[in-house]
Amino acid sequence: MTDRRTIAFLALGLCLACGLIISSYFLSNALKEIKMAERYVTVKGLSERIVEADLAIWNISFRNSANDLEELQNDIDDNKAKLYNFLLGMGFSESEISSMPPQITDTQSLPYYDAGKGREYRYIAVTRITLRSNNVAGVKHAMEKAGELVSSGIAIGEDSSAQFSFTKLNDIKPEMIAEATKNAREAAEQFARDSGCQVGAIRRATQGYFTINDRDAGSPDYKVVRVVTTIDFFLSSR
């Protein structure tokens, strides 16, 4: 009876030992797979392009002064007509030109007005005209010819300025994202070669914001479009 119990205990112990060995084997493989799954590299991919602006907005301001409101309005209308004719003569359409009501200041209503000293003109008006066009080259040419406005008696204000924009970002987004992703994979493959590994699938990808900036101060009509993607690639042993 004792021998049977001994044999039974030995058999049970042997089964437990085999079970532990098998469990350890599978657990070891599972941990190895988990460890391999956690092996990845984080890289950044860049895509950059230089594009031409496709929209130009030229804000033009001029000033008129007079002691009589009717005279002031006549001067404003005269300058507006000259400016409109100038822009129309440059090939722009009326739909591309808009104007804001003049801002008129009565100098006698200013808090620091001194009646004893007086002023040369009582009323000062600032009028703003805006040219908005997709003909960027035409706007640049008109700006170069702005001296003709001065010759006709229009003093362009110091706050007159032009803005150039690129509005077709959606047209190039897919290609730039693909280019940035390819650039990131090339960086990951270089790292893998140096580390004796192979690049696998994408673990996680984060697309950065697209930025559009002037190429330089001298050519604001040329833009630099840039995007950076951050990607995690799985790595595996060769």
Residues 62 and 116 occupy one common structural domain: yes
Average pLDDT estimate for 114-142: 88
Pairwise CA distance, residues 228 & 183, whole Å: 10
Residues 79-101: what's their mean pLDDT?
Answer: 97
Residue 3 falls inside a structural domain: no
- What number is the average pLDDT over the span 180-195? 94
Confidence label for 116 from pLDDT (cuts 50, 70 and 90): low
Cα–Cα distance for residue pair 146/159, rounded to 1 Å:
14
- Encode pLDDT of 59-72 as tens digits: 999 999 999 999 99
Residues 188 and 97 occupy one common structural domain: no
Residue 224 has pLDDT above 90, yes or no: yes
**180 and 229 housed in the same domain:** yes
pLDDT greater at residue 133 or residue 236 = 133
Instruction: Based on the fold, state whether residues 158 and 65 are members of the same structural domain.
Output: yes
158 occurs within a structural domain = yes
99 and 158 share a domain? Answer: yes
pLDDT at 115: 57
Domain boundary among 144, 165, 186: 165
End position of a domain, from candidates 142, 165, 188 = 165
Q: Are residues 154 and 203 in the same domain?
A: no
Give percent above pLDDT 90 in the chain.
70
User: Do 185 and 201 reside in the same domain of the chain?
Assistant: yes
pLDDT at 167 over 60: yes
Q: Which is higher by pLDDT, 15 or 222?
A: 222
The reply to whether 86 falls in a domain is: yes
Least confident of 9-18, 94-103, 161-170: 9-18
- In this prediction, residue 20 has a pLDDT band, given cuts at 50, 70 and 90, of very low
Q: Do 173 and 213 fall into the same domain?
A: yes
The verdict on residue 10 lying in a domain is no
CATH of the domain at 189: 3.30.110.170
Residue 39 pLDDT: 87
Instruction: Report yes or no on 61 lying in a domain.
Output: yes
Q: pLDDT tens digits for 133-143?
A: 999 999 999 99
95 within some domain? yes
Distance in angstroms (rounded) separating the CA atoms of residues 45 and 181 = 6
CA 10 to each of CA 3, 4, 14, 16, 24: distance values in angstroms, whole numbers, following the listed order:
10, 10, 6, 10, 21
Residues 86 and 98 in one domain: yes
Domain that holds residue 190: 35-51+168-237
Residue 142 lies in a domain: yes
Is 212 a residue whose pLDDT tops 80? yes
> What's the pTM value of the predicted model, to 2 decimals?
0.75
Q: Is the pLDDT of residue 27 over 50?
A: no
Q: How many CA atoms lie within 13 A of 115 on its CB side?
A: 1
Q: What is the pLDDT of residue 4?
A: 57
Residue 29 has pLDDT above 90, yes or no: no
Tokens representing residue 70 in the block: 């009717």
Which amino acid, one-letter code, is at 104? I
Among 165, 195, 213, give the residue marking a domain's end.
165
pLDDT at 83: 97
Domain count, the chain: 2
